[in-house]
């Protein structure tokens, strides 16, 4: 579904963000991307969406080079949900989610009856039907994130990029997002999610990628994470311990 081969990116010759990044993502697979602030996670996402162009390497989406897609075609394959969800207009939730249909509507066209039906179906699927007539800008942070995921599903991409979707959310809403991402992967979506919480990688399973200062990436299973590795990445003493009450490993500060 997604193949990234030896890509590098620099803002200028003396400011390398990352180098020689390679990985593969299959349909229905989750990759959690860990790393400290400023290491290049969001820049990597911008390259995967063609908002930025890597200096070297190749990105293949659904079997085709990313450069071969029109922007409309690209929107039907991959979508990015930023860590901050903004809207300057007072759209209702239904209107906001309906914007996800834009890649399938001609420049001067209007949403068809089946587009509205799909929005209703997705809102119902995510348990958000009661939000349909609410004003998007008046929702809480967690509610906006869930509605934005509904918009992304309506867009019908094959790959979803979540840039710190749990930022600013309480524990309850963080767990709702984690559960929703796992459900989406189970239905065939490929998902990459950035987070600062190693516990999210353990909960989500799939594969885990660590981005290091200096631009390197290490990829493995969440089970291969170690306290020493995470302590080095984040510059603070961390330890992985097994918590019998939840039946899994957890990351704690020493």
| Nearest alpha-carbon partner for 111 in 98, 92, 97, 124 | 98
pLDDT at 174 over 70: yes
Map out the domains of the chain as residue ranges: 1-77+157-218, 86-156
Average pLDDT, the chain: 90
Residue pair 196/42 in contact by the 8 Å Cβ criterion: no
Q: What average pLDDT does this structure show over 85-97?
A: 84
pLDDT tens, 6-30? 999 998 877 889 999 999 999 999 9
Residues in contact with 223: Cβ distance below 8 Å, sequence separation at least 6, in sequence order: 249
For residues 123 and 81, give the distance between their C-alpha atoms in angstroms, rounded to a whole number. Answer: 17
Report pLDDT digits (tens) over 126-162: 889 999 999 999 998 788 888 988 998 898 889 999 9
Q: Tell me the C-alpha to C-alpha distance, in Å, between residue 193 and each of 136, 210, 241.
A: 23, 12, 23
Closest CA to 203 of 240, 175, 231: 175
Kindly tell me if the per-residue pLDDT of 88 is higher than 90.
Answer: no
Which pLDDT tens digit goes with each residue over 96-127? Answer: 999 999 888 887 888 899 999 999 999 998 88
Is 158 exposed, middle or buried (CB count within 10 Å of its CB: 0-12, 13-18, 19+)? middle
> Class for domain 1-77+157-218, per CATH?
alpha beta
């Amino acid at each position: 579904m997604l193949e990234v081969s030896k890509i590098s990116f620099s803002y200028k010759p003396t400011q390398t963000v990352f180098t020689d990044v390679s990985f593969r993502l299959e349909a229905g697979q989750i990759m959690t991307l860990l790393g400290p602030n400023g290491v290049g996670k969001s820049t990597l996402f911008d390259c995967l969406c063609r908002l930025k162009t890597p200096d070297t390497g190749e990105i293949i989406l659904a079997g085709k080079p990313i450069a071969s897609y029109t922007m409309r075609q690209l929107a039907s394959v991959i979508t990015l949900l930023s860590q901050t969800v903004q809207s300057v207009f007072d759209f209702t939730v239904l209107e906001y989610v309906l914007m996800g249909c834009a890649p399938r509507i001609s420049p001067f066209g209007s949403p068809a009856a089946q587009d509205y039906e799909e929005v209703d179906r997705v809102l119902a699927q995510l348990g958000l039907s009661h939000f349909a007539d609410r004003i998007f800008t008046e929702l809480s942070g967690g509610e906006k994130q869930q509605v934005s995921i509904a918009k992304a599903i309506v867009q019908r991409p094959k790959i979803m990029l979540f840039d710190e979707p749990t930022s600013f959310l309480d524990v309850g809403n963080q767990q709702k997002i984690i559960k929703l991402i796992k459900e989406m992967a189970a239905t065939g979506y490929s998902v990459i999610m950035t987070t600062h919480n190693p516990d999210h990688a353990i909960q989500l399973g799939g594969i885990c990628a660590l981005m290091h200062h200096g631009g390197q990436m290490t990829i493995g299973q969440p089970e291969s994470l170690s306290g020493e590795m995470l302590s080095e990445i984040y510059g603070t003493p961390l330890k992985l311990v097994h918590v019998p009450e939840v039946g899994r490993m957890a990351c704690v500060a020493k």
